[in-house]
Structure 1
Amino acid sequence: MPNRLAHETSPYLLQHAENPVDWWPWSAEAFEEARERGVPVLLSVGYSSCHWCHVMAHESFEDQETADYLNAHFVSVKVDREERPDVDAVYMEAVQAATGQGGWPMTVFLTPDAEPFYFGTYFPPAPRHGMPSFQQVLEGVRTAWTDRREEVAEVAGKIVRDLAGREISYGDSQAPGEEQLAAALLGLTREYDPQRGGFGGAPKFPPSMVVEFLLRHHARTGAEGALQMAQDTCERMARGGIYDQLGGGFARYSVDRDWIVPHFEKMLYDNALLCRVYAHLWRATGSELARRVALETADFMVRELRTNEGGFSSALDADSDDGTGRHVEGAYYVWTPEQLREALGAEDAELAVQYFGVTEEGTFEHGSSVLQLPQQDVFFDAERIASVRERLLHKRSERSAPGRDDKVVAAWNGLAIAALAETGAYFDRPDLVEAALGAADLLVRLHLDDHARLARTSKDGQVGANAGVLEDYADVAEGFLALASVTGEGVWLDFAGFLLDHVLARFADDSGSLYDTAADAEQLIRRPQDPTDNAAPSGWSAAAGALLSYAAQTGAEPHRTAAEKALGVVKALGPRVPRFIGWGLAVAEALLDGPREVAVVGPSLDDGGTRALHRTALLGTAPGAVVAVGTPDSDELPLLADRSLSNGEPTAYVCRNFTCDAPTTDPDRLRTALSG
């Protein structure tokens, strides 16, 4: 018989709806139930494409004996961290403070007042490698709760007080300058892996936000070392197993330092960020590899993640059926030499073995290999390789595909909108711009209410109950601003403004600090606040970027002031931990450059000269430059006000703080003016 999760929209929660555990969703009713029964709460947090979440579910939550014990002695609450990042952030902070590490599934025991007192992540069904079994943990927690209730309450109270004291020290609220950005670059250089690209050791995550900073820093200062780190990192990732060499798109991270073996889940946010980074790398260098990867990643998102409603799904699972009935990580993506021979025949299989670095021993498990590109393409016949790719992709499509989390997350769709809009504009792919517009339309129709308040998620056209957090407002505004620049449609600038007004009114305090949740959101044991980037830009740095771009488009002084204040934390953290505040550093580069404001006017948007100037403006590498395009003196976008044609010809104006250089009708001169 299904439990309460059967009524939820989250695919992750629905995966647990048939568990014998009597799960509750996160709700006041769940904690009231614990209070009435006098039992503690088990909080289990995960997400649908999390491998170890599935393992623990199968080992423990599907086990009747374990479920009976939980049902008798606990109220069990299951949370999708992608739906409730605020709940996840608050209790993950407690887990990391108590244990020195974190991860998912996250397992936390709470009082009926939601105060945590015991922590962990994955617990096995039997003692293993020094870890207690899950049953031992449950029995120990129950004993402590029954026999030492006052001690438990004291511990929980202390933890909550410690968390409350972790407010971010904001410093002098000044944005970083040349000195701090140079120190950040030096710090990145020290952590850079010159042999393999990327930063740090294994596991290696794609550093998309850091690469964006490096590209902007090079554009502004000419620092060749910054560009070299960006280029080499992007090439190593694109040639590694972390990139899907057949279908495009990136896996979550590489388990090794060489980018060979990925953790195979594919996340929307990673692919949106990396699509945009590779498009920007092509814009800066003309790299054919960057062009191919940007377009293939965009096509992957549209082909495999777009929903029937026009939005983009959250993720593809790492695991899938391996053909024998077993659910195995990477089964959909890896190949043995024998499988290549079956798909291609002996001669082309030998070519594929060499081209994709497949070995008899295998680079993954059980003699299978992850496809990579260890050699340069010039050594192979391009037409024959294209045929091999096409046939392998077709053969792979006959395998059991990984599951898809169809939840539409507002923030991640905002990132996808920005990436698809720009990539479509750069490479003359109007279909990609249309895909971006479709996702934006879904967010406006379904996720925005009459007061421009944003819901975090939807699924199958049904909006979720959870309120948007700071990253939702900021990333969706970022996507809408990119659409305004690409399409010239002022409505997207208007929608961005509505969202950013909420940021100023409900997520910021008087000092300029930003919080992850709104002032009128559900009150947790602590109001989460984190300026550091993780897998995606933090809400804090994303908001700073969107506020700055909006101010450049409109001249809105409150938004620029708020962006400058928000960047004060980048001044403090950038020189010390540059890997974890890359987007904040990228926004700081835009602030130091102006950012530049480009207005392009022409007789119509279909006019060839207007299109040439508009495309040149979009391809400018000046950090964070904003672009407006329209007819002379149009009221569609503020940057177009009082802009006229020069001698009847389409004209571009390049400005900083609404002070402009001489207008030009020449795309080459415009390109020079925007070259950093």
Structure 2
Amino acid sequence: MANRLAGAISPYLLQHAGNPVDWWPWGPDAFAEARRRGVPILLSVGYASCHWCHVMAHESFEDEQTARFINEHFVAVKVDREERPDVDALYMNATQALSGQGGWPMTVFATPEGEPFQAGTYYPPEPRHGLPSLRQLLEAVARAWAEQREGIIQSAHEVVDHVENATALTAAMIPATLGTEDVETAWERLLPEYDPVHGGFGKAPKFPTAMVHEALLRMAESPVLPRHVREQAADMALDSLEAMARGGICDQIGGGFHRYSVDAQWVVPHFEKMLYDNALLLPAYAHAATLAEGPRKALFTRVADDLVDWLVREMTTPEGAFAAGLDADSQDPLGQSSEGEYYIWNPAQIQQVMGDDDYRDTLRMFQVTDPGTFEGYASTLQLPLDPEEFGPGGLRLYHRARAVLREVREHRAEPGRDDKVVASWNGWMIAGLVRASRWLDRPAWLMAARRAAEVVRDVHVVDGRLRRVSRDGVVSDAPGVLDDHGAVAEAFGLLAEVTGDTAWADHAKALVATAEDHFSAGDGGWWDTADDAGGLWMRPRALDDNATPSGVAAMVAALRQLTRVTGEESYDARADRAVRTQAQLMRSAPRFAGMALADTVGRLV
């Protein structure tokens, strides 16, 4: 029997529609029910492509006994973090404050007013690795709620106060101007975090950080910065992009990039493939190809071509927009769900399909070894050398191996596809396609971008307001957040510039005007949710880039683009005010303000 999630648009919520847990979707009805019954909220947040979300669902939420306990003592609310990033951001801040860490699935206990008092991430069905079982936690919280309710409510108030204070922005944090000195300060902070051996920033796990690479590419082109900074920035960007292009994080035979690398060498990825990563990496590689020379230029161009081929082949919805992502997991030959199964190979498999003449060179070309680089003596595919370096027949072997291995792979059980359409992710993908089509002279990419933009315009704008998510042409009631308005407005503005169709500029201006009317924070920046969105104990406001640009960074990019299209300098002035709200973050933690740094570099004179 289906629960209340059966009518959802979100694939993640639909994955839980058959659970014995009596899930409620996020909304006022769930909180009213908790108040009526006098029980706390169990809030579970995840997303469709999340490996550990699937694990916890199978272990606990499909278990009848666990579900009965949850239904008796809690009102259980399930949230797709990609559909409601505002809910996710607010409770993630609380989870990090309460537990010192965050991640998904996110498990939060809250009062009937929505104020959190206990939080964590994944909990196993039995105690393991220092974690209590989910059942132990549920019982402890239910007992504490029954016996110490007033104390719990007071502690929840304190959590709320802590989160509000931690995210406050004061006038002292906002400078009057940004300039060369700020860029140099950010540069000095960025340098020690760079990995000069393997490229990228930080240690394992290592993320693509496309926004930082864009900042570095702009630094390399800046006529204002010192020569040594320009040259070093170019090396850092190009070396990092090459390392990712040759590593296992890049799908060497199918195109596109996985979520991140679990190691510092880019060898073994977390195998999700998300639209937003690829939307941001496409223009990074196309931009880099304009600066690179020789084999590296060819590599970056090929990576961009492969990424778009994958996008068109596997991620385009019937309506013409782009799906959200692919799961990390797929079924192995025994029918068991296994992470990375679709993408990994062992030497015997290569020999079977490539034949005795070519398999040894194929193993060397793609770094498939007997010990393996992944679990079970299997390897991810890498490309440490250009095919031409394998002799006269290297390029022929490369193309044959890619074609053969991809054909074989297509007969494996495919990863699940999250086919919802997210407004901001499509905005970034559309913008990436437009930019890359100009840099690499690929006019067909512009056509794909326009088709996707038409879907967002026609489906996601309802009564003049932007909605965040649709699926199969049906739009969700989840309201658009700030990054949706910024990313889509930038995409529309780019289409206006490239096509000469001024209607796209009008659509972009309308989205920016909505952001000003409903999201403005009064200090030059914006809240991440609209003033009439409701339902949260606090309006979230994030200044930092994470896997995607922050909402303020997305809006700044949209305003810059509107200035280019319309010639109206008021948009530039508004962007200048907004980016200054990120100044302190850019100076102190530039890895998390890549777009602000890129914008500031672009404004240097």
Q: Secondary structure at the match of 2:36?
A: helix
1:348 to 342, 350, 358: 358
Q: Secondary structure at the match of 1:575?
A: helix
1:188 to 190, 197, 202: 190
Q: Secondary structure at the match of 1:77?
A: strand
CA separation in 2, counterparts of 1:591 and 1:417? 24
Aligned residues: 592
CA separation in 2, counterparts of 1:290 and 1:57? 40
Q: Secondary structure at the match of 2:338?
A: strand
- The alignment status of 1:76 with 2:76, answered yes or no, reads yes
Partner of 1:522: 534
Q: Residues 558 and 520 (structure 1 numbering): CA distance in 2 closer, same or farther, change over 3 Å?
A: farther
Contact 1:174–1:564 (CA<8 Å) still a contact in 2?
A: no
1:368 to 378, 392, 395: 378
Q: Secondary structure at the match of 2:77?
A: strand
Structure in which a larger fraction of residues adopt helix:
2
CA separation in 1, counterparts of 2:206 and 2:466? 33
For structure 1, which runs of at least 5 residues remain unmatched after alignment? Answer: 594-676
- CA offsets per residue over residues 405-427 of structure 1, 9 Å max, x none? 01100000001101112222333
CA separation in 2, counterparts of 1:20 and 1:449? 34
Partner of 2:396: 383
Shift in Å at residue 173 of structure 1?
Answer: 4.2
Shift in Å at residue 492 of structure 1?
Answer: 1.6
Shift in Å at residue 559 of structure 1?
Answer: 2.1
CA separation in 2, counterparts of 1:323 and 1:299? 27
Q: Tell me whether 454-463 or 477-486 shows the greater mean CA deviation.
A: 477-486
Partner of 2:170: 169
Partner of 2:209: 207
1:396 to 377, 387, 409: 409
Shift in Å at residue 572 of structure 1?
Answer: 1.3
CA separation in 1, counterparts of 2:356 and 2:176? 64
Contact 1:570–1:585 (CA<8 Å) still a contact in 2?
A: no
Shift in Å at residue 549 of structure 1?
Answer: 2.2
Q: Secondary structure at the match of 1:2?
A: coil
Shift in Å at residue 30 of structure 1?
Answer: 0.7
Q: Secondary structure at the match of 1:250?
A: coil
CA separation in 2, counterparts of 1:555 and 1:434? 25
Alignment of 1:322-361 (within 5 A): 322-361=332-371
1:416 to 429, 440, 457: 429
Contact 1:173–1:566 (CA<8 Å) still a contact in 2?
A: no
Counterpart amino acid of 1:384?
A: L
Q: Secondary structure at the match of 1:206?
A: coil
CA separation in 1, counterparts of 2:177 and 2:290? 27
- The alignment status of 1:512 with 2:524, answered yes or no, reads yes
Q: Secondary structure at the match of 1:108?
A: strand
Counterpart amino acid of 1:520?
A: D
Q: Residues 11 and 409 (structure 1 numbering): CA distance in 2 closer, same or farther, change over 3 Å?
A: same
Shift in Å at residue 514 of structure 1?
Answer: 1.3
- CA offsets per residue over residues 161-180 of structure 1, 9 Å max, x none? 22222312352343421011
Partner of 2:484: 472
- CA offsets per residue over residues 653-676 of structure 1, 9 Å max, x none? xxxxxxxxxxxxxxxxxxxxxxxx
- CA offsets per residue over residues 147-205 of structure 1, 9 Å max, x none? 01111111111112222223123523434210110111222111110000001100000
Contact 2:114–2:537 (CA<8 Å) still a contact in 1?
A: yes
Alignment of 1:39-78 (within 5 A): 39-78=39-78
Partner of 1:306: 316
Partner of 1:110: 110
RMSD: 1.2
- CA offsets per residue over residues 371-400 of structure 1, 9 Å max, x none? 001223332221221111111111111101
Q: TM-score of the superposition, structure 2-length normalised?
A: 0.96
Partner of 2:246: 239
Q: Secondary structure at the match of 1:76?
A: strand
Counterpart amino acid of 2:27?
A: S
Contact 1:175–1:570 (CA<8 Å) still a contact in 2?
A: no
Shift in Å at residue 261 of structure 1?
Answer: 0.1
- The percent identity for this pair of structures is 51
- CA offsets per residue over residues 456-510 of structure 1, 9 Å max, x none? 0000010010100000000111211222232222222221111111122211132
Q: TM-score of the superposition, structure 1-length normalised?
A: 0.86
CA separation in 2, counterparts of 1:553 and 1:487? 11
CA separation in 2, counterparts of 1:237 and 1:510? 41
Q: Residues 189 and 371 (structure 1 numbering): CA distance in 2 closer, same or farther, change over 3 Å?
A: same
Q: Tell me whether 31-40 or 165-174 shows the greater mean CA deviation.
A: 165-174
CA separation in 1, counterparts of 2:564 and 2:500? 15
CA separation in 1, counterparts of 2:420 and 2:170? 35
Counterpart amino acid of 1:100?
A: G
CA separation in 1, counterparts of 2:344 and 2:356? 18
1:463 to 462, 472, 475: 475
- CA offsets per residue over residues 268-304 of structure 1, 9 Å max, x none? 0000100110001112224111111111111111111
Q: Secondary structure at the match of 2:462?
A: coil
Alignment of 1:598-613 (within 5 A): none
Contact 2:579–2:596 (CA<8 Å) still a contact in 1?
A: yes
Contact 2:496–2:565 (CA<8 Å) still a contact in 1?
A: no
Counterpart amino acid of 1:50?
A: C
- CA offsets per residue over residues 530-565 of structure 1, 9 Å max, x none? 010000101111111211221233233432222111
Counterpart amino acid of 1:168?
A: L
Partner of 1:665: none
Partner of 2:588: 576
Q: Which fold has the larger relative contact order, with Cα–Cα distance below 8 Å and residues 6 or more apart in sequence?
A: 2
Q: Secondary structure at the match of 2:257?
A: coil
For structure 2, which runs of at least 5 residues remain unmatched after alignment? Answer: none
CA separation in 2, counterparts of 1:118 and 1:240? 39
CA separation in 1, counterparts of 2:178 and 2:11? 42
Partner of 1:10: 10
Q: Secondary structure at the match of 2:44?
A: strand
Counterpart amino acid of 2:410?
A: S
Contact 1:314–1:409 (CA<8 Å) still a contact in 2?
A: yes
Contact 1:173–1:567 (CA<8 Å) still a contact in 2?
A: no
CA separation in 2, counterparts of 1:271 and 1:261? 17
Counterpart amino acid of 1:230?
A: A
- The alignment status of 1:86 with 2:86, answered yes or no, reads yes
Q: Tell me whether 535-544 or 423-432 shows the greater mean CA deviation.
A: 423-432
CA separation in 2, counterparts of 1:398 and 1:169? 57
Alignment of 1:433-472 (within 5 A): 433-451=446-464, 453-472=465-484
Counterpart amino acid of 1:45?
A: V
CA separation in 1, counterparts of 2:314 and 2:177? 40
Shift in Å at residue 523 of structure 1?
Answer: 4.0
Counterpart amino acid of 1:429?
A: R
- The alignment status of 1:276 with 2:278, answered yes or no, reads no
**4+ runs deviating over 6 angstroms:** none
CA separation in 1, counterparts of 2:200 and 2:191? 10
- CA offsets per residue over residues 221-279 of structure 1, 9 Å max, x none? 35100000000000000000000000110000000000000000000000010011000
Shift in Å at residue 53 of structure 1?
Answer: 0.4
CA separation in 1, counterparts of 2:560 and 2:433? 21
CA separation in 1, counterparts of 2:9 and 2:407? 32
Larger Rg: 1
- CA offsets per residue over residues 40-65 of structure 1, 9 Å max, x none? 11000000001000000000000000
Q: Tell me whether 233-242 or 337-346 shows the greater mean CA deviation.
A: 337-346
CA separation in 2, counterparts of 1:483 and 1:173? 33
CA separation in 2, counterparts of 1:124 and 1:10? 25
Contact 1:185–1:226 (CA<8 Å) still a contact in 2?
A: no
Partner of 2:159: 159
Partner of 1:31: 31
1:264 to 264, 271, 274: 271
2:549 to 534, 537, 540: 537
